[in-house]
Structure 1
């Protein structure tokens, strides 16, 4: 597990990066923070972190001075510099202090995940190859089995469980170490599944007794996952539902209502923030962009029928304010609703 130190004088950056790291799926032992270089050095002396994420522009002691101090310590601390300034001079200076990663604000989750992957790969490469599992490989397996469980892919789940048990057996570890790792993995998998769907739960592992074999505990782990699949199947009545498609249908059926992101997330039993990110990843559009697009497409179909007044169409697609509808339509189509009708010869 990794220890992380975040150094930034902006509270929102500290909070946001902390949340990103907590949701990254990486095994993190601790996340601490400091508002400047001096505070960071004090935190480093108290407990040596594995990764330091630091801003450049800070009062008291800036990020470059902090990087220089860390470089002088000659410790296995990997530093990532965060800056809102796309300045090559800063990047050059950072490289001279041994900094290998440079993130620009605003930080996106994909950029952070990519950076974490590189940090972990370097950290793992520095460890004895036969003594530790690859964290990157664990993260990849976690993502695969989380998705397989959520979409109830029984064949893939069975294959992943079998492959992973064989994989773990190839590492030079004591059964106690393997069991401890599996317990942590189980807890993390529960958290990630709960983030996807509040109604998903993994059966807890039974009380572990001293001297228990890893194979016995792994069977418990397998049983826990199978119970979850059975529960999901019963709840979904044997029908695999694509959550994004469910929301699209709901939007289509309620174009005249102000369907909010929170309402759609609640429909699926998901946290709004998680649902928002998932929707954007799956559709390439934000929830509001997609809802607006569908409203305007429906409005265009109604405008093609002379029997509908433009004010009626405005209400039908959820706009009580006619001027707001006209403004949105023009932004979407490039012309006003009345001009659109004229263009169609109506």
Structure 2
């Protein structure tokens, strides 16, 4: 059963699409609705949404903005875009952000339901039985492998780029792979197939098939919007080299780390979804030039090692750990101190800014110079609160005080605690306290 969120600033359209979905016979568990991007984003943060159906033009936060925030929050949420404008620019941006369809208003009911049905069918989970899954894998993945000679060349490039780049024959092969860059990052995927502490033991054939499947899951994800090469590397890992040309990097240089974070979480999510394995993902920084490939390779490998310290976390970005501040690897005490400091600063920033409209986890993370993924993990681990749950807690406690002790109207209270509409505020308030603001006032 799936959960769908329908978003449009025209209530009649939201009501019509919700009714259409409810009577469609599709395997839908819950249909959520929102009349603005901010309201929809709260729903995505708080609920388990599988499919987002959103309008493009909705005032303060457009459908494109909503898609960007949704992807950063939960990369696996699928999207269908609806629009009154058959504009190539909108459609291009929507597709770049992973939209599965772009439908033009007025909507054809049958076409809309076909689009939703197609997305939900692809979201269906395969059988958890390994043999059953492997027998049907060709229906989901292309089952391609990088040729062994290229895998060996890429492995050598990551280990000793100076030597490889000095060899004319190797340079020809690199040109054939179209490794032009000039900006690069490396991602490593470690599958838990040979861990001594693993409860399940895999035979050699199962390991081969699982690695094969993970490689193709990675390729499917990468081909959507990344210029990349994925291949087997030593120690049973899968390595991905990502590259940007000057133009594509400059277009969003400040957001590339967030995009890598989203990709890392998508890789972990999909490998776990299809293969039932908790893969550990290590992400390097971004550097310019092939001569730095060995540096990027070491960074990605070192990031993976942090799973030993945080065994319940699986996606690690090298830049989160300030390695340059330590002459040697930090002790457990130093790690604990730094983690506490990150959470403390995040709490202080939220305490001062929780009433800000449009506050995002990514803004808080940027102030702490860490990725949103790592901050969210540390915050929950140290405080017991999901970071956004903490924001809502502060907003609800403040609004409760104002309802009980002032004569402010509902829209004024909503405005003061960061909500753009009194209706949205009331919905969150009732979900949090179990009664509406007006009921509490009485």
Q: How does the TM-score come out when normalised to structure 2? A: 0.31
Higher strand share: 2
Between 1 and 2, higher relative CO (CA 8 Å, sep ≥ 6) is seen in 2
Larger of the two Rg values belongs to structure: 1
